[in-house]
Chain A
Amino acid sequence: MNITDRRRILGPSNAKPLVFERLESSEQAAQPPQEKNNENESMYIKNGLVSNANGSSYLELKRGESSEQCTILLSSVYGPRPSRGAFSSKASLSVQFKEVTIEKIPSGELKEICNFLSNIFSAVINLERYPKSGIDIFLSLIKNPITSDEANLEPIIAACVNGITLALADAGIEIFDTVSAGTYKRNVVAFSKNGTEVVGLWKDKEDDTANDILSVIENCRGNYLQNRKGIIEYLIRSKNADI
């Protein structure tokens, strides 16, 4: 280091980098995740934790027994707030996704996730009800399920769809249906109207289901109905507890 870095306050010249003890769990993570689909899946929901947001939801999705296979997502909804600029008779929707701990997902993928989610929810939110305004959804991924490869976005996206629906319901923003997503292998399908309408379909790059889209949808639907039931039960229970 003969070039002095003037932009940073440097440590003393004899400083050594910190060395941490290796975590034992990293060996377990090296094993390929078991593709036991949707068994032992459990969900923990808590709404309204973000006090300055109009509505928010905290979602923990656990798959199997191990705590590594756990997705934790915090979604918050702000708005409708006035949008500056050109007049629009509908609300505009924006979705921001951020990993708050280690950033594993490349930014191109992040953009794709945001586009996918805003496409779904533009169709689901009653945007005509909120003229001249913008609704902002912020997603914070607190815990990424540790997987061997980093392209496995399917549990995250399913959590995002469920989390946003819960946050919108908490915010009291009008949505046409309790939209939820179901996963099968590397696919996520978001449904509405009790599984009769598909509002979004996500396919991760490397999946082994080939082109059998019908069976994918059928398998996702089962998972969707289970998630939807959990969401609705939570909403009704928390509403009755409030009164």
Chain B
Amino acid sequence: MVYYAQSTHSAYPGQLICPVYELEKGTDSQQVIRYIAGAGVAEQDYELNGQKIIALAATVVGEVKFDEELKEMVPSGEVAESNENEEEETVSTEEERHFIVSVTDKRQDGQAVTADFANNLPREGDIVLARVTRISQQRANVEILAVENKTTPVDSGVGSNGAGIVAAGGGSGGATFSVSQASSDLGETFRGLISSRDVRATDRDKVKIIDSFRPGDIVRAQVISLGDGSNYHLSTARNDLGVVFAKACNGAGGMMYAIDWKTMVAPSTGFTEARKCAKPF
């Protein structure tokens, strides 16, 4: 019995789920199945009858899930063609299938916003939402409020944004967030900084922080490094990164809307302010 086809079961920390490799034998073919540790799963060495094996074991309490990782996304038009290819290939052996094994809490599965920030700490390359806490000429200090999770296309048909970059405003392939539960009043949030050179991709040395961010703005940014002991280093040097929410007159006015990449307007008064805006669509 192959492991990925087994019905889902509950797992507790330390429970063995499956080996790293498995050979699936059909009537006239065989297939190597590789299991990759995802969230809530770790590779561990075990000794079985004096023989060392590497197995995947759960690290949290939850339900076991197997997701097949497809090497390339095939547009729906080509599916029929690829099926034919597969049939040809069944004669030859040694096809490898990849499965990502994860253990997730069912309560949080499939929600757009989860409280599970602890297991989704910001890493290099992650997109985060952050609030600007203070600015200086060289940098803007921010506190990280949420980490955007890997996007999953919810519909494969019309209007899908695919697995690529999702616009700040959402879209059909809407992102999910892990929201930090820490209180910023207690100083328990993870902090980051956006250096003036990382605000935009062009004219880096002419950036004025004051014309890009103001304290209180909500910024969509990418983690470029874990930084030093206290700050993550963030960047907004991309079209879809920058200010997503801002209030006029240093927070005294109403919400503003982006009209181009460096201007926001308050619709009630018509005043404009300079910001480095995220592309909304």
CB within 8 Å of B: which residues of A? 54, 79-89, 126, 129-133, 165, 168-169, 171-179, 192-194, 196, 232, 235-236, 239-240, 242-243
> Chain A contacts of B40 at CB under 8 A?
174
Q: Do A176 and B59 contact each other (CB < 8 Å), given the known contacts A86-B229, A196-B47?
A: yes
A132 and B118 alpha carbons, distance in the complex (Å): 12
Known: A174-B40, A176-B14, A196-B47. A132 touches B60 (CB 8 A): no
With contacts A82-B188, A82-B189 known, is A235 near B12, CB below 8 A? yes
Question: Chain B interface mostly helix, strand, loop or mixed?
Answer: loop
Instruction: Please state if B119 and A192 are interface contacts (CB–CB under 8 Å).
Output: no
Within 8 A of A (CB), among B53-98: 57, 59-62
CA distance A242 to B10 in the complex (A): 13
Q: Which residue of B lies closest to A179 (CB)?
A: B14
Question: In the bound complex, what is the Cα–Cα distance between A54 and B118 (angstroms)?
Answer: 9
Q: Top 5 nearest A-B pairs by Cβ distance?
A: A177-B14, A174-B59, A87-B229, A175-B13, A178-B14
Interface residues of B (CB under 8 A from A): 10, 12-14, 40, 42, 44, 46-47, 57, 59-62, 105-107, 116, 118-119, 121, 123, 182, 188-191, 226-230, 232
Q: Select from chain B the residue with minimum beta-carbon distance to A174.
A: B59
* B190 cross-chain contacts in A, Cβ below 8 A: 82, 132-133
Query: How far is it, in angstroms, between the C-alpha of A79 and the C-alpha of B119 when the chains are bound?
Result: 10
Is the Cβ of B226 less than 8 Å from the Cβ of A126?
no
Q: In the complex, A86→B62 CA distance in Å?
A: 34
Contact B62 A239 (CB under 8 A): yes
A178 touches B119 (CB 8 A): no
Please, how many angstroms separate the alpha-carbon atoms of A232 and B189 in the complex?
A: 33
A114 CA / B182 CA spacing, docked (Å): 26
Most buried by A among B46, B105, B119, B226: B119
Q: In whole angstroms, what is the CA distance A192 to B45 when docked?
A: 12
User: Can you offer 25 A-B residue contacts whose CB atoms are under 8 A?
Assistant: A79-B118, A80-B118, A80-B121, A81-B182, A82-B189, A84-B229, A87-B228, A126-B42, A130-B118, A133-B190, A165-B13, A169-B13, A171-B118, A172-B118, A174-B42, A174-B59, A174-B119, A175-B13, A175-B14, A176-B42, A176-B57, A193-B14, A236-B12, A240-B10, A243-B106
A81 and B12: CB pair below 8 A? no
Contact A87 B226 (CB under 8 A): yes
Does the CB pair B226–A169 fall under 8 Å?
no
10 additional contacts, CB 8 Å, given A169-B12, A174-B119, A179-B14?
A54-B118, A79-B118, A82-B189, A83-B229, A87-B227, A129-B119, A129-B121, A176-B13, A232-B12, A239-B62
Q: Across the interface, which residues of B come within 8 angstroms of A243, CB to CB? A: 106-107
The chain A residue sitting closest to B47, CB to CB, is: A196
Residues of A within 8 A of B226 (CB): 87, 89, 131-132
Measured in the bound complex, the distance between the Cα atoms of B182 and A85 in whole Å is: 19
Expressed in whole angstroms, the Cα–Cα distance for A132 and B190 within the complex equals 9
| Nearest-Cβ distance from residue A57 to partner chain B, whole angstroms | 12
Nearest B-chain residue to A240, judged by Cβ: B10
* A178–B10 CB distance below 8 A: no
From B118, B189, B226, B228, residue with most partner A Cβ within 10 Å: B118
